[in-house]
Amino acid sequence: MATTTATTTVLYCHDPLNERRADAHFAAEARQLRAVGGASLLIDHDALLAGDAERAVARVPEGAGALWYRGWMIPAGPYAALDAALRLRGGELVVTPEAYRRAHELPGWYETFAGLTPVSGWLPAGPGAVPDPEGLAALAAGLPPGAAVVKDYVKSRKHEWDEACYVPDLADPAALRRVVARFVALQGEFLTGGVVLRAFEHFVTPEGAAAEVRVWWRDGVPRLVTAHPDSPVTEVPHPFDPTLDPVLDPALEPVRAAVEALGCPFVTTDLALRADGVWRVVEVGDGQVSDLHRGADQAVFATLLTADQAPLRTPAPSGTTPA
C-alpha cells in the first residue's frame, strides 16, 4: 500500500507515566515523523499485551485509515488483535497480521532465506516447556555437527551466552538440554513459539566498524543501513559504503531477492561477516518492531517511513539526533 508524507500515520506506544505522549524511547522518532509531514497516534502497549486490544486503541480516532506501527515488540497473536480492534474503528495496519508473523518469527522467513543464514531447526513449545531429550536429539540431528545457538522464534539470550545460548557440541546431549532448559527458564512467559537451534558460524568484526549491520527494506528496496542497535560504534563497513550503490552490490543482491520473495512491506535484515569473508543473514525482522541504533539519523529514518521512494542512507557521522 502506497503512502505519502502527507498521509502517513504511525502508531507509537504511549509513555507509561503519561498517556498523552510517546514512550521516551520513540519520542524523538515521533517528532521527526511529524516534522516531515507524517502523523503520530498513541496506543497502550501494556493493555494490548494484557489482552485488552479495545482499551489499547482507545486513543485512536475513528476512521484513521491505513496505519503503521513503531514500538515495542508485539507477539503475533496480540498484533492480530490490534489489527482487529483498529478495523472496528475504521483503521487497519498496513502490515497485515500474516505478513507481520512471516517477517517476525523465524519459521516464517527461514525457508526463504535458506542458504543465506545458518542452518536451523525448531520445535514448538510453550513458556516453561523444555522439549524432551528425544525431541532435542532429533532436532540436533538436522544440523551440521559441532556447535549451535539456542533461541526462540524471535529472540536469543546472547547476553547469557555460556549458560543459555551457546552449545559447544551438539553431540553432548546433557549440555544441549542444560542450555535449552536454562534458556526456557530465563525466557519465562516471553518465550515465543518454541525452541530453535541454529548452527554456530564464526563471525568477525570489520576493523573500526559495527560487527552487525542492519538493513531496512521498504517494499523490497533497501532504504537505510545502520549499525545493529547493540553495536558500540555507529560506522558501517564495506560493502555498505555510502559511495556505492548497494542495490547493485553483489553482497546485497541475494538478500534483496530473498526479501522480495518474502513479500512483506517493511523488513529488517541483520548481516554479519563470516570468517571466510561471506556476509550472512543472522536475523530477519519486521521493521515496525526493529530497534534503531542510537547514532542513526532520526530525520533520515522518518523519510523512510513517509516516502514512497528514498535512497539508501547511512547514519550521520556525528550521530546527533535533532530535538
Query: How many domains does the structure of the chain reveal?
Result: 3
Measured between alpha carbons, how far is residue 85 from residues 266, 269, 313 in Å?
A: 21, 29, 35
Query: Does residue 312 fall inside a structural domain?
Result: no
Are residues 131 and 78 located together in one domain of the fold? no
Are residues 145 and 181 located together in one domain of the fold? yes
pLDDT, tens only, 177-230:
999 999 999 999 999 999 999 999 999 998 889 899 999 999 998 889 999 999
Decide which of 144, 179, 200 is a domain's last residue: 200
Q: Using a pLDDT cut of 90, give the percent of the chain over it.
A: 80
Cell numbers given for 263: 513479500
Query: Does residue 166 fall inside a structural domain?
Result: yes
Query: Does residue 89 fall inside a structural domain?
Result: yes
Are residues 221 and 245 located together in one domain of the fold? yes
Query: Does residue 22 fall inside a structural domain?
Result: yes
Are residues 195 and 244 located together in one domain of the fold? no
Are residues 55 and 24 located together in one domain of the fold? yes
Residue 307: the pLDDT is 67
pLDDT, tens only, 11-27:
999 999 999 999 999 99
Are residues 174 and 222 located together in one domain of the fold? no
Instruction: Provide the residue count of the chain.
Output: 323
Are residues 49 and 29 located together in one domain of the fold? yes
Query: Does residue 29 fall inside a structural domain?
Result: yes
Query: Does residue 224 fall inside a structural domain?
Result: yes
Write down the residue that cell numbers 516534522 correspond to: 35
- Give the DSSP letter string of 146-182: S-EEEE-SS-B-GGGHHHHTEES-TT-HHHHHHHHHH
Are residues 214 and 180 located together in one domain of the fold? no
- Helix and strand totals (H; E) in the chain: 11, 14
Are residues 192 and 213 located together in one domain of the fold? no
pLDDT, tens only, 60-104:
999 999 999 999 999 999 999 999 999 999 999 999 999 999 999
- Distance in angstroms (rounded) separating the CA atoms of residues 319 and 321: 7
- Distance in angstroms (rounded) separating the CA atoms of residues 38 and 274: 39
Q: Which residue has the higher pLDDT, 134 or 309?
A: 134
Decide which of 94, 128, 162 is a domain's last residue: 94
Query: Does residue 322 fall inside a structural domain?
Result: no
pLDDT at 314 over 70: no
Which residues are within 8 A (CB) of 284 and not within 5 positions of it... i.e. 6 or more apart? 103, 106, 109, 113, 117, 262, 267, 268, 269, 270
- Distance in angstroms (rounded) separating the CA atoms of residues 24 and 201: 36
Are residues 227 and 180 located together in one domain of the fold? no
Are residues 226 and 154 located together in one domain of the fold? no
Residue 118 Cα to chain centre, angstroms: 17
Rg, C-alpha atoms of the chain: 20
- Distance in angstroms (rounded) separating the CA atoms of residues 193 and 209: 33
CATH number, domain of 251, equals 3.30.470
Residue 238: the pLDDT is 75
Dihedrals phi, psi of 29, to nearest 5 degrees: -65, -40
Cell numbers given for 242: 555510502
- Distance in angstroms (rounded) separating the CA atoms of residues 105 and 13: 21
pLDDT at 4 over 50: no
Are residues 267 and 291 located together in one domain of the fold? yes
pLDDT at 319 over 70: no
Q: List the domain range (segments joined by +) for residue 80.
A: 9-94
Query: Does residue 103 fall inside a structural domain?
Result: no
